[in-house]
Amino acid sequence: MIISKKSVAFILGTVFFIYLSIMMLYTYLPSYLYFLGVPIPIVTLTITFAMSTFFIFPPLLGRYSDKLQNRIYFIFIGSVGILITLVFLLFTSNFIILNILVFIFGFFTSSLTIILTLYSELVQNDQKWISYYNSICSIGSFIGVLIGGMMIDIFRVENLFLFILITFMLSIIFIVFIRENRQLILDYNKKVPEYIEKKVIDNNLEEDNNISKSIYYSLLFRNFGIIPILNILVIIMGFYISSHTEIALLVGINPLFQFFIMIFLGRILNKKNIKAFMILGYCLSVIVILGYIISVDFWGFLIFQVIVSLSYSMFWMATIVYIAQNSTSINKGRLMGYATTSVFVGTTIGGLFFSLLLTVFHSNYYISMSFMIIFPIVSTLIIAIKFKNN
């Protein structure tokens, strides 16, 4: 039973526009920096610096939201903060100030990640409804990338932050109608399976014993290897493809396919096959990096964008369902925060490493990407050997 269908609907509308806006920023920020004359290794460092907020803040904010038992407070602060930051970004082209503002943008975005915790509580951890959430995020990302590419072709990349501000303002319309229904959520929490409930008494650290720590390490190493490449993929594609609209289609096809894949996974995932989907997802990440090395035209990139969609959908959907179904309101925010942190710790450290490789090899991304293949292999081995679904 869904605790509040109206709030669930408004959350789905909210995350559609949030991901549309955020994906537009992080996809085309490298192009904007490149337009300003920033060298590619420094572009990678800048994106890494921006994304470091996602491993610093989500577990802290998740822990405080668990303690306060008030998720909507963090969602409201995040949305207002992003809105104000985007207004400031409209009026600067100074590289240092831009870095500071993008870091602040990342902090407020981290606050908005609490919306997934609230959503999973409102749908009582139902994997089908969680798949709908991930699918809406994916379709929002697809449209954001596509619209961003078209707008850049028409109005030029220097207007990037104006596009993002306009689209993000639409999410505010939905946020104001979200209701938390905390008492109903806590009443449901009394009905959780006993093997979970006894792990989460008094907010003790022992509550985490029900979660296999291997999921966090595997997320870290996979994103260490592949996200730094994805961060400059628009620039790499630009060496072979002249149209931003075509590049937008290639980048956006990734979340578009995720939309359908995650809905499908929401219907077939179960305790018996979660591990298998995690392993397959990480294995496909290895193939994706190889694909980016050998791709030199639209169709080559298209094939491996489809594969990266399969990869991400499999391991991320399996991980989120696993955490949701092995946690309660007492620790759900923190455990979701740990997953987000693992992703972006890997992204940040991997970005620094990739920037170093690009500097050493004089921006030769073929050689630099070759070194990154090892890390999703490590993720695959960790899940294969260490993951156990209690």
**Quick one: pLDDT band at residue 85, thresholds 50, 70, 90?**
very high
Q: What is the pLDDT of residue 385?
A: 93
Q: What is the pTM (predicted TM-score) of this model?
A: 0.72
Q: What is the pLDDT of residue 216?
A: 93
3-state secondary structure of 155: helix
Q: What is the pLDDT of residue 314?
A: 92
What domains, with CATH codes, occur in the chain? 5-386 (1.20.1250.20)
Alpha-carbon span 61 to 57, nearest angstrom:
6
CA neighbor of 205 nearest in space, from 65, 63, 23, 306? 63
Contacts with 9 (C-beta within 8 Å, 6 or more apart), sequence order: none
Q: What is the pLDDT of residue 234?
A: 81
Q: What is the pLDDT of residue 205?
A: 45
Does residue 27 carry a pLDDT above 90? no
Looking at 156-231, list the stretches that DSSP marks H as alpha helix, in order from N- to C-terminal side: 160-175, 182-189, 194-197, 214-231
Structure tokens at 225: 């290897």
224, 241 in Cβ contact below 8 A? no
Q: What is the pLDDT of residue 208?
A: 58
Q: What is the pLDDT of residue 308?
A: 92
Q: Tell me: the pLDDT tens digits for 300-315? A: 999 999 999 999 999 9
Alpha-carbon span 199 to 210, nearest angstrom:
7
Residue, of 379 and 263, whose pLDDT is higher: 379
DSSP structure class, residue 156: -
Q: Tell me: the pLDDT tens digits for 139-157? A: 888 888 888 888 888 888 8
Does residue 207 carry a pLDDT above 60? no
Alpha-carbon span 274 to 318, nearest angstrom:
5
Percent of the chain clearing pLDDT 90 (strictly above): 27
Q: Tell me: the pLDDT tens digits for 234-290? A: 888 888 887 878 888 888 888 788 888 888 888 888 888 999 999 999 999 999 999
Q: What is the pLDDT of residue 195?
A: 46
CA neighbor of 220 nearest in space, from 117, 338, 47? 338
Where are the strands (E) in 96-173, listed by range?
Answer: none
Alpha-carbon span 235 to 246, nearest angstrom:
13
Question: What is the secondary structure of 240-280 as a DSSP string?
Answer: T---HHHHHHHHHHHHHHHHHHHHHHHHH--TTTHHHHHHH
Q: What is the pLDDT of residue 70?
A: 82
CA neighbor of 389 nearest in space, from 254, 278, 241? 278
**Quick one: pLDDT band at residue 1, thresholds 50, 70, 90?**
low
Alpha-carbon span 68 to 286, nearest angstrom:
41
- Give the lowest-confidence range in 30-39, 169-178, 179-188, 257-266: 179-188
Question: How many CA atoms are closer than 13 Å to the CA of 132, on its beta-carbon side?
Answer: 12
Alpha-carbon span 73 to 79, nearest angstrom:
10
97, 161 in Cβ contact below 8 A? no
Structure tokens at 287: 């193939």
Q: What is the pLDDT of residue 202?
A: 46
Alpha-carbon span 346 to 228, nearest angstrom:
9
